[in-house]
Structure 1
């Protein structure tokens, strides 16, 4: 009798669980992301930054034959490090070089091979959907054509490169439905050529890159403005898509979307991941493509329609950027290890890792998102669901006042492909939709129309 009672209780619990699964949404958080958020090692990151610094210079025009100095030695070490990580996870990374020869440019006058290193962690269900974390291999001093002088580039940008390597160490221990690319890009200081070459390669291969997280300077906490800050990061993103057509721009003028490009909603996603899974880190979204009048390696991806953001420190120290190593009037110039805070770099690496894992763990993104509701009391949104997605639980709809910087309201609605927002007048709000996995992983919010298309 006792056995029968236990079996009956088990059956009742199973029936209850099935009812709950039918009537309630998936988890609102992916529990494994809490572990990922604390996994990056500050010590390993500092050691990798030091190794990159010890190559003397990583200038794009520097030595390529030596095993101990110059960008050639640096990129071969990065390739070997990715291969080592791959060996530890049973060959889970495909490590490749992507390169082209550049010449006749202001900062690359003579033919020069610009070589980037990519480590690709293939997804288990949706391998052609990618999210990328990038750092820069190269460094420079005051003269952008000086490939001979020592150019340690500790913070700019050995820190971002070390972060990408460490993210690979952490995330290669997991499997995800989507693919992740860990990238070391070259030629950034000479004109963003590495990103341009890799973006072109991605298009040629038909890769569906849903987001690029460009990390450029993630280890400095002491600003030239005198502020010391180890708990804030900046995320830069473009407001409207660079590839927007004239027809799409006209539509956006009447329906909205100036601050809802996929890159901008990717930035919101980064901030939301930090708020949910991390402590003592505030993400400051900057509504600008990059720093005023300056550029970074997410821009070449934006220029071909791939969403991308720049993640970096909040208070820069210009005496440590693009400087010959020297002391003048008591001021020490140069980008050396003295300006590196590895614990802050580990924190920003963790920010990348939870973002990469969240996006790679999510189902396919909603596509062909549309909305209607002019002169009506309610707004109706529709989208296309994928033909096959083993990890899709359903969808979450989002809305906010048009002046709000972040999505303020949401509701899980199940596995449907349309929703009517009763008594929400379309004129007064912005709307979006995200796809939710069975384990709680979720895509960024997709804004309706061409303005928000990922």
Structure 2
């Protein structure tokens, strides 16, 4: 009887994972490169979307761009029976004390919230940037089409909303257009503070900044590679947490790094043609992105972007010098690649939005014992749990075991000294939470 029950249990788990896979493949197939091309073209044709550009024109400047983005979200909402709450969120940034702000400026973001059916106060965010720039970040009149930086990320966010608004999710999703990125991440700072004041529980942030270029300045051409940037541990960690890491490990196991591993795993499983590259940095060397303000408040956030940048097409006046063409123009964007990275975002948004919360208070034991022991607090909505482990030098979770609806488990014969461990919650349809790294030790 025990064997029969075990076989039936495995059958149900396999069936759930099969159903979840079918949904994600459908989402991948629904992403349209034609729609993304049309949206990038529209955004680039506003001429400039500089933070200080025209806000009253209907055809040029950041004002026209954000009104168009809002209207697109509203149109999507109309098609899904008003399933999106679309609104502006803004903050006045003062020139005093800000070298990159020549005059007091309203930084206006555009948000569209798809409320979850079970956990409406838990949010996963996909963002793109509205603003663009040329060689002079304060020049508000000269053309700065920003086709790749970052009309591509904004168009991907709009397309993800089109695709995912056809579904119902347990957790909420925010599709977000952020402004003021080029002047100091002001849009992200404003919305992160807005989220904190609302008391929202942010599962994670997918910051999409440049997802359309496949030809690097170094000559490498690839429409499969992309990068996932993540910080190692939160900047909000306590001194006690830092000291414990010295003895128990976890230097590369913060919540943002776990989110990056989640995206890596999901992509490798459902889009094996893509090559996700986990970069162990907050962002590119010495540079920043709009996930950072959320990291600063203690939330998980990563940057998803192309692997091979071309600096001749970033932050440049449109011109040709010595036979080199400069400027962020439409002709340099690969729309099929942008669609691929949009699909990467969409399946990970969906997976997390359908998943239960991550386990709470994960503790680990097994000091000077032949087996590793884990225990955790169960979470609402989980039908079971999966233990992950990996070699201490491995960047990804290499091994796993589904252990059922329990709150503790012993991995017999696996010595705690030689691996890192974590636990994920699994929902009824097979969708998993982000892996929770142990935050306590027991004997």
Match of residue 28 from structure 1: 17
Instruction: Say whether residues 1:322 and 2:315 are aligned partners.
Output: yes
Give 3-state SS (helix, strand or coil) of 2:251's partner: coil
Structure 2: distance between partners of 1:28 and 1:412: 12
Structure 2: distance between partners of 1:311 and 1:46: 19
Compute the displacement of 1:364 (Å). Answer: 1.7
Deviations 1:105-134 (A, max 9, x none): 111131100011111001111111111100
Aligned mate of 2:174, from 169, 181, 194: 181
TM-score (norm 1): 0.93
Q: Are the counterparts in 1 of residues 375 and 409 from structure 2 also a CA contact under 8 Å?
A: yes
Compute the displacement of 1:373 (Å). Answer: 2.1
Correspondence list, 1:305-384, <5 A: 305-384=298-377
Structure 1: distance between partners of 2:36 and 2:259: 25
Instruction: Say whether residues 1:49 and 2:43 are aligned partners.
Output: no
Aligned mate of 1:285, from 250, 256, 278: 278
Match of residue 5 from structure 1: none
Compute the displacement of 1:366 (Å). Answer: 0.8
Structure 2: distance between partners of 1:87 and 1:158: 23
With 29-38 and 236-245 compared, the bigger mean Cα shift is at 29-38
Aligned mate of 1:441, from 413, 428, 431: 431
Compute the displacement of 1:28 (Å). Answer: 3.4
Structure 2: distance between partners of 1:123 and 1:254: 39
Correspondence list, 1:124-135, <5 A: 124-135=117-128
Instruction: Say whether residues 1:430 and 2:420 are aligned partners.
Output: yes
Corresponding pairs, count: 433
Instruction: Say whether residues 1:232 and 2:221 are aligned partners.
Output: no
Deviations 1:150-197 (A, max 9, x none): 100000000000000000000000111111110000010000010011
Deviations 1:282-329 (A, max 9, x none): 101111111111111111111111101100001100000000111111
Structure 2: distance between partners of 1:278 and 1:420: 33
Q: Are the counterparts in 1 of residues 117 and 170 from structure 2 also a CA contact under 8 Å?
A: yes
Compute the displacement of 1:23 (Å). Answer: 7.7
Match of residue 76 from structure 2: 85
Q: Are the counterparts in 2 of residues 366 and 384 from structure 1 also a CA contact under 8 Å?
A: yes
Deviations 1:30-79 (A, max 9, x none): 12001111211000000000100111110111111111111111111101
Match of residue 155 from structure 1: 148
Sort the Cα spacing of 1:22 and 1:271 in 2 relative to 1 into closer, same or farther, 3 A.
closer
Gaps of 5+ in 2: none
Sort the Cα spacing of 1:18 and 1:172 in 2 relative to 1 into closer, same or farther, 3 A.
farther
Compute the displacement of 1:22 (Å). Answer: 8.2
Q: Are the counterparts in 2 of residues 48 and 162 from structure 1 also a CA contact under 8 Å?
A: yes
Give 3-state SS (helix, strand or coil) of 2:246's partner: helix
Q: Are the counterparts in 2 of residues 396 and 433 from structure 1 also a CA contact under 8 Å?
A: yes
Structure 2: distance between partners of 1:101 and 1:132: 23
Instruction: Say whether residues 1:402 and 2:395 are aligned partners.
Output: no
Match of residue 12 from structure 1: none
Structure 2: distance between partners of 1:22 and 1:417: 19
Gaps of 5+ in 1: 1-15
Structure 1: distance between partners of 2:340 and 2:323: 32
Match of residue 7 from structure 1: none
- Root-mean-square deviation (CA, aligned residues, Å) is 1.6
Structure 2: distance between partners of 1:161 and 1:276: 26
Give 3-state SS (helix, strand or coil) of 2:65's partner: helix
Aligned mate of 1:417, from 393, 407, 431: 407
Sort the Cα spacing of 1:124 and 1:423 in 2 relative to 1 into closer, same or farther, 3 A.
same
Aligned mate of 1:264, from 253, 257, 282: 257
